[in-house]
Amino acid sequence: MRISNIFLSTLLLVGFSAHAGEKEIRKAFQSKFPNMEVTSISKTPFGGLYEVVVDGQASYATSDGRYLILGNVIDLQTKRNLTASRNAKLSEVNWNVLPLDKAIKEVKGNGSRKVAIFSDADCPYCRKLEPELEKLTNVTIYTFLYPVEGLHPDAVPTSKRIWCEGDRLKAWKAYMLKAEMPKSKGDCPNPIDETVELGNKLKVNGTPTIILENGQRIPGLLSSEKLEQLLTAASRKK
């Protein structure tokens, strides 16, 4: 299930002070929105606009610093969505920062391709994803138990109970595919709180969130066919 990622969603144009450059745009933005951190401001090659990155998302400011513009920039010659491409790049995750020992590991076939999934045990879309994962082969799947407590309060204790089973993978599949509750009490040392902290740090704003070995992040449910395409493309780019 996706969680709303609210970023100035009701605004189209915001007045800033006139005659501003990169430094002044940052100051003006922070004065209007002090609780939001500006990651970067850089000149774009189109329209004299500046790119302003906040919360992992690109928006644009006019060169005089007066207006902030939200929305997609489309290259009409190539029909490419430049904003979507940029946001996809901004959302990439360095595979090497993932603590794979804190995930449930499943090796299918030769396990040559790799994918990590942040999944909530009580998320209906995560449950729908599991049968699609069953169809994949030659892949290693790392499932991070990422309960979204605000939406699914029982997901935290359930995730801990799954982790504390002798066969975590079997317990995970039994719960997700057959709704079989794990038998453990969930009182063993577990990484659930650390995983939640990691997900927050990586701005995982919904489940399932899929991360490929090349860093590409895909939010939401995908079919096995689409996953196959993405895994193949990621293995070529690795």
The pTM of the full predicted model, rounded to 2 decimals, is 0.80
Phi, psi of 38 (to 5 degrees): -85, 115
Residue 90: pLDDT band (50, 70, 90) is confident
Domains in the chain: ranges and CATH: 13-90 (3.10.450.70), 95-237 (3.40.30.10)
Residue 13 is predicted with a pLDDT of 39
Residue 14 is predicted with a pLDDT of 46
Mean pLDDT highest for which of 65-69, 76-80, 129-133, 228-232?
129-133
Residue 55 is predicted with a pLDDT of 81
Query: Alpha-carbon dihedral of residues 4, 216, 118, 141, nearest 10 degrees?
Result: 160
**pLDDT tops 90 at residue 16:** no
**pLDDT tops 50 at residue 6:** no
Q: Tell me the β-bridge partners of 142.
A: 105, 116
Q: What is the Cα–Cα distance from 26 to 133, expressed in whole angstroms?
A: 44
Average pLDDT over residues 18-29: 70
Q: Report which of residues 98 and 40 the model is more confident about.
A: 98
N-terminal to C-terminal alpha carbon distance within the chain:
29
